[in-house]
Structure formats: C-alpha cells, structure tokens
Amino acid sequence: MSPRYTRYTYAVYVPEFIEYEVRHSPGGPSASSIKALALPPQEERTRMHIPHVTAPFRPVHRILAAGCGTRILQAAMELRLFDELSKGPATPEELAAIIQSTPHQTEALLEVLRSLELVEREGRAYQNAPCAHQYLVQSSDNCQAPFISMLTGLYDSALSDIPSRMKNAHGEKEKMEKGWATPEVLEGMGRASLRGPVQATLSFVQNLPGFDEATTLCDMGGNHGFYSMALLDANPRLYATVCDLPHVTGPARKLHEKYGYAKRMEVKNLNLETESPDGVYDIIFASHILYSWKGRMSEVIGKLSRSLKPGGWLVLNHMAPTEGKPNPINALMAFHATLSGYPSHSLSQHELETACDACGLKETTTAFDDDSWALLFAARKPMGTKI
C-alpha cells in the first residue's frame, strides 16, 4: 500500500476541504494536509469509554413510546379504523383498501393498537377490544371522542412548557376556568361522566335515605348538568339548580336545553369562593370542584351545609389519593392540576369526615369507584337542626 493511498484512505475521516485537496490538487496534498491526515501513534490514540451498565433503559424507553400514544389514538380515530372494525373483523389488506394505505403500514398500526389493548387479533383478522367498541366508535351512544379531544387540548396546553408553567402557575387557574365556558367543552366533560361516574353516583345517591322524597337539588359547580339529569330521571319530583361561575352558566343552559331538561333545571351565577348558595336544598351535590379548598375544607363545607335542609344530604364526588406508588393516570392528573393553579387533585376520606364533623354533618357514608378512582362521600344534616 503506497503512502499516498494510505493518506487517501484516512482522508474520508477529516474535514471536506482536505479530502477535496487529496482528490483534486495537481501536485497532491499540501504539507499541512498531510500532517492533518497522519494518524497519531497507537499509544496517543484516545480509546472509547464504554460505561458499565447497571440499570435497564426500558423504563425510559417506555415513557418515550407512551408519549406517542395520543397521536396513535387520534390517527386511528381520524382514519375511522374503530368504526370499520365495529362492522366486524377485518384483515390488514381489507382495511388498507378502505383507508387508502398499504397493508404493511396498516398492520403495523394495528399492532401498535393491539399493544395498547384497543384491538384484538385472531389469525390475520383484527377486531375492536371491548373498550374501543364502546368508547371509540362514532356511532356508539357512549363515544368519548369529544372528551378525548378536550382532554388532549388541556394536556397539550399545560405540558407544552412545563418549566414556565411551574414558575408562573398563579394565573393559570383563571385561564383554565375560562376555557371550560364553551358548549363543546362542557359537552365533552359531560360525555366523559357517562363512561361510569354518572352511573356510580346515581347508584350511590339513590340508596341514601329520603332520596325518593327529595324535591330540591343543588348541583354546585355542575356546569354540564349530566349528574343532575340522571338524578332527575330517577326522581320525577326533583328539581335541580345548577350553580356555577357567571361565564359558565350561559353555555351550560344551552346544553341543558339541548338535552331537553330546561323545564326541570335552572342555572344560577355563583362564585363559591366569595358566596354561599341561595335557598335550602334536600341534596347538595359537588363533583370535582372542591380541590381549590384543600387545607381549608371546613370553610367550604360550612358554606354548603348552611344551605341544606335538616335531614338533607351533602354528596361529594372527588378523586381519592392513591396509597403507595401512584398510578400514572392519577399522578398526571394531579400534576396537571398543580400546573393549572390548583393545590391538589385528590381529597381523602379523612379530611372530608373531619370537615363534616366540624360543621355538624353526621351519618357519613362512602363508596369507591375503582375505574375512575373516585371517592363518593355523603354526610347528613341532622333532623331538628336550625337552618
């Protein structure tokens, strides 16, 4: 091997101008280029540092893969894959012809969805998993597409610049609450409550003593009113008042009218931070709104209890804290809540019981919804109590 050929071989690893000079200079490379091309002696060469691996990378890789889940889900819904599979099992080739893709791309997407437990496979044919069939098919009466769109938007906004939000979260609560005040967002949250929370609440409240005789319900911070609608259906004597912030009640009223409940529901402007409900009620219901009063629960429960009739029930529906290692969904919701200006996204049974006892409410009863991780809590105002 000639010296010139040796230098030419090494030239591919050095800056482009040296390789150009080697290839094109009539007199060959300059002295400076030859010096740059020369390898250092063996004893002077730097050896690669190979670290000692003591922990698997898979937990980090799993996080990176999970971050793509929302886009995969949205793409599958946009392609209407779940709608096609609701008609019956189909092969990648059959689906590819419908969505105008290639069979291997379609199969790869289906395999991702299978890893996410949204589709199942038998032989070459794929079909919807029960979860996808109920919640991701557009024609389903429990389709959660509006909720998925709403929640994705909330998370994208809150998580797009986490360091900035962590430093300036004080103004986010007001922005967050203003973002709810559209019929589309309210309906998305309402539809979300139909995937189990409304059913669990209805079962819980129906079994409270005196429910069948109740005539007045206050749905505190109830906006979409879906919980009230379910309770009105269960008790024909009941009339509901939905109390919420002034910018929410207008869109909420339109939603109540859309679902045909305007004659049995009214809306009232109320800021619970500075006001108490008007009138007295047989049932006061509050769902996922008392997190703002974390650490001062007696203050807000005192306001609500004063508007209860003797023998009336305060019913609360909120996320419960997880014991031990948090699950990813609850942990993310709690983090999102703090980025949005709330102190917490869970209330424990102990703090609710302590506050109710301090406000004179008795006969506490609870139920726990495993799927939504929600604590249903009720306490009663004793008969004979002065209003």
Tokens of residue 115, six digits = 């890893």
Among left, alpha and beta (phi > 0; psi -120 to 50; other), residue 44 is alpha
Integer-rounded Cα radius of gyration of the chain? 31
- How much of the chain exceeds pLDDT 90, in percent? 59
**Could you give the CA distance from residue 283 to residue 114 in angstroms, rounded to a whole number?**
44
Predicted pLDDT of residue 168: 75
**Could you give the CA distance from residue 342 to residue 75 in angstroms, rounded to a whole number?**
32
Element (H, E) at 243: strand 239-244
Task: Give all domains of the chain, ordered by start, each with its CATH number.
Answer: 3-38 (no CATH), 69-143 (1.10.10.10), 172-380 (3.40.50.150)
Name the β-bridge partners of 319: 374
Q: Where are the alpha helices (DSSP H) in the chain?
A: 3-11, 16-24, 31-37, 58-66, 69-78, 81-85, 92-99, 103-115, 130-135, 145-159, 162-167, 172-179, 183-193, 197-206, 226-234, 246-258, 297-305, 328-339, 349-358
Predicted pLDDT of residue 239: 98
What is the DSSP code (8-state) at residue 90? Answer: B
pLDDT in tens, 30-81: 655 555 555 556 566 678 888 888 999 888 888 888 888 899 999 999 999 9
Average model confidence (pLDDT) across the chain: 86
pTM (predicted TM-score): 0.78
pLDDT in tens, 288-337: 999 989 999 999 999 999 999 999 999 999 998 877 777 788 888 888 88
Predicted pLDDT of residue 87: 96
Length of the chain: 387
